[in-house]
Amino acid sequence: MKILIRSARIIDPNSSAHLKVKNVLIDNGRIADLPAKPVEADRTLEAEGMLLTPGWFDLGAQSGEPGFEQKEDLETLAQAAMAGGFTEIAVLPNTQPVIQTRADVNYFLRGNAGRLVQMHVMAAVTRNTRGEEFTDMMDLHHAGAIGFTDGLKTIWNTDIFLKTLQYLQAFNGLLIDHPEDIWLNLYGQMNESPVSARLGLKGMPALAEEVALSRNLRLLAYAGGRLHVARVSTSRSLRLIRAVRKRLAVTCDITAYQPLLDDNLLEGFDTNYKVNPPLRGKRDNEALIRGMEDGTIDVICSGHVPQDAESKQVEFDQAEPGMISLQTTGANLTELAARIQWEVLIEKIAVNPRKILGLSQPVIEPGEKANLTLFNPHAVWTFNEQSSRSKSRNSPWWGKTLKGKAVAVFNNGRYRIFD
C-alpha cells in the first residue's frame, strides 16, 4: 500500500527536511521517498497547511485495565491515543493489580506486535504504590519496564526515594515522581487561593509541590542518578528545577492543559476541572509558558486519567481527580501555538520523551520506518459521543468545538487515516 502525503510541513529536528514543505511517500510501513514532485500512490493525502512530525509519545497515560475496565480498557486507551495523534504511550502503574511484577509488565507488552499504538510500561517503585516496600525493580527492568514511578501517587518515603535513586544507577534507570507533600495537601480539593477561600474548599497550596520537589532535588544531589519530575504546576517549582539543571540529571514535564486552565474555572464546581496537581493561578500558567519557551520544561504529556460517572458525578469533595485528555491534547497544543513555536511544542511531545527514556527516535528520512503523526492545526471538530474513543467522559471540553486534530498516524507497519 503506497500512501502519498502531499505538501506537508515537516517538523523533525533529526531530519534533513526539518521545517520544509515536502511530499512524503510511504510504502508498506516505510518512508520510501521525499519526492520533489507528487508521484502515483494508492492513496494521496492533501496536507497543505498540515504538520508532519515523528509520532507523538505520551509520557504517562492512565489505563483502567486491569481492575477498572469500566473507566478504560486497553483497546479504548489505544483508540483514544491514536485519535489524539499518539503512536506510543507510557502507561502509569496505578492499575489493580498495580504494575509491579514481570507478569504485570507482560500483560501490557504482549499485544504490541499487533498494535499501531505501542504501549510502554512504567512500573511501580513500591508495592501497591503505598510507599512502604520496594518492588523488584531489576526484574521489572529486564521484563521491559522503561521507567519507575508510583505514578499518580508521590513517593513520600524519603528513605525509599533516596535508595531508589541509588539502586537505579545499576542500569541507568529513570525515577519519575510527581512531587507532593501529602500532609499539606490532605483533604485538599483545589489550588489554595482566594478562589478556594471564596468557594469554601480546602486548598492544595503550591508549597506542597515545592517542598516535596526541593527535598527530591536535594536527595538527587546527594545520591546521584536520574530524576524526571512529572506534572509540574507552579512557577517556583520551575525556578527550583532551572537552578540545578546544569549540575543534576533532572528533567520535567507538564500536562498540555495545565497552562491553559486556571482555578477560576472551578467557580461552577464542575468536577471535570478537579485534577492533581490542581489548576493553579494565571501567574503560574504564565510561568509554565515561559518554561516551555526557555527549555526548562522538557516534555508535554496528556495527563490522561479516565474516571467513570460514579467517580465524577458526585459532590465536589467526593469526586476523584483527573480528566481524559489524549484526544484533546492536539487542540491544547494548537492553542499554545499562539504563544510558542510549533517546532518547540513538537520537540516536547515527540522527541524529548524518547530521548529521556533512551528509546530510538523516529526520523522522517527515506528508508526509515514510518512512525508519524499528520496533524491539522486548522481542523475544527466537536469532542462528543461520536468523536470520543475513550470509555469515560470526564473532560471539560466535552460537547465543545475545538481546533486542531490528528489527520493520520503511522506506526508498526500500520496506519489510520481519520476522515
| Residue ranges of domains in the chain, CATH in brackets | 2-51+366-417 (2.30.40.10), 55-357 (3.20.20.140)
> What secondary structure letter does DSSP report for 225?
S
Residue 223 is inside which H or E element, if any? helix 206-223
Residue with cell 476522515: 419
Cα 362 from Cα 346, distance rounded (Å): 13
Q: Return the pLDDT at 419.
A: 78
Cα 261 from Cα 281, distance rounded (Å): 8
Cα 386 from Cα 325, distance rounded (Å): 16
Residue with cell 528545577: 241
Residue with cell 507497519: 413
Residue with cell 522522517: 364
Q: Are strands 21-27 and 2-10 parallel, antiparallel or unpaired?
A: antiparallel
Q: Return the pLDDT at 79.
A: 98
Q: Return the pLDDT at 325.
A: 98
For residue 184, give the 3-state DSSP assignment.
coil
Q: Return the pLDDT at 53.
A: 98
8 Å CB contact between 179 and 229: yes
DSSP-assigned states of every residue in 54-102:
EPEEEEEE---TTT-TTT--HHHHHHHHHHHTEEEEEEPS-SSS-S-SH
Residue 373 pLDDT > 90: yes
- Total-model pTM: 0.97
Residues 276-335 have pLDDT tens digits of 999 999 999 999 999 999 999 999 999 999 999 999 999 999 999 999 999 999 999 999
Residue 381 to residues 79, 139, 390, 401: CA-CA distances in angstroms?
17, 45, 16, 6
Q: Is 114 exposed, middle or buried (0-12, 13-18, 19+ CB in 10 A)?
A: exposed
Cα 243 from Cα 400, distance rounded (Å): 40
Residues 340-371 have pLDDT tens digits of 999 999 999 999 999 999 999 999 999 999 99
Share of the chain above pLDDT 70, in %: 100
Residue 31 is inside which H or E element, if any? strand 30-33
| Residues paired with residue 251 on neighbouring β-strands, in sequence order | 228
8 Å CB contact between 335 and 50: no
Mean pLDDT of the chain: 98
> What secondary structure letter does DSSP report for 413?
T
Cα 267 from Cα 200, distance rounded (Å): 11
Q: Letter for the amino acid at 254?
A: I
- How crowded is residue 325: how many other Cβ atoms within 10 Å of its Cβ? 28
